[in-house]
Amino acid sequence: MPDSPLLIADHDAVRLITVHRPDKLNALNAATLDALHAAFDAAAADDSVRAVVLTGTGPKAFVAGADIAEMAGLTPVQARDFSLRGQRMMRRVEKMPKPVIAMINGFALGGGLELAMCCHLRIAADSVKVGQPEINLGLIPGFGGTQRLLRLAGRAAVLELCLAGAPVDAARAQQLGIVNRVVPAAELEAETMALAAQLAAAAPLALRGILDCVNVGAECSLEEALEYESAQFGLVFSTDDMREGTRAFLERRKPAFRGH
């Protein structure tokens, strides 16, 4: 649709989802949150898609934040509902059974950083800045920023970014553990799509098992998490991909995984 806030394209088994609101620096309004939720539902259900890359249109912004013009007129109840809407969408991304990479091509501020953090991996151009500047508007993060930043970077980092409200550059973000890789801006797309292609060629059910173990383990005790991992380890022994992978290793050839 010409008025869609997203652009969606497939590159073999990699789906590229681009937030496309260039006049708003790709800011997240309610319609964009809903479109993203639907797009990730569709990617999860499509067996031909094995990995997803999420980015924003243009060189300036990945996602500059939530749409302040839309938020400014909300009542307290509406604001809570808007927060929950974003939380549900980002939790949908976080719980995807397929790997999701945030390709951070520009500013990722407020809701933009929250969107990047709910992805499984983050690759940033060396020119970008990220942050949680909500304090400068008399607000707090509403799409999971305090909680995912706490889990990614720790208490000191979340307090630094959220209380001071100042963005940090890509090198500092990598140092804090917020992004996985920093690459020259000119190489960002090639590096990200190469990683996505690598993940798309991996065993899909094993990828899903790893993602499940990490999601479950982050929220429970070590003993429970280890038990869950053992159960998932046993489960993959029922797959054709496991037999193909071990056979290929013994035969010294590249495996051909099919997701069975």
| Residues known to be catalytic | 114, 134
Q: Read off the tokens for 13.
A: 């088994």
201 phi/psi in degrees, rounded to 5: -85, -10
Three-state DSSP class for 26?
coil
CA angle (196, 246, 201) in 5-degree steps: 15
Report the alpha-carbon distance of residue 233 to residue 136 in Å, rounded: 47
Establish how many alpha carbons lie within 13 A of residue 165's alpha carbon, considering only the half-sphere containing its beta carbon: 9
Report the alpha-carbon distance of residue 169 to residue 166 in Å, rounded: 10
Identify the bridge partners of residue 233 per DSSP, sorted by sequence position.
Answer: none
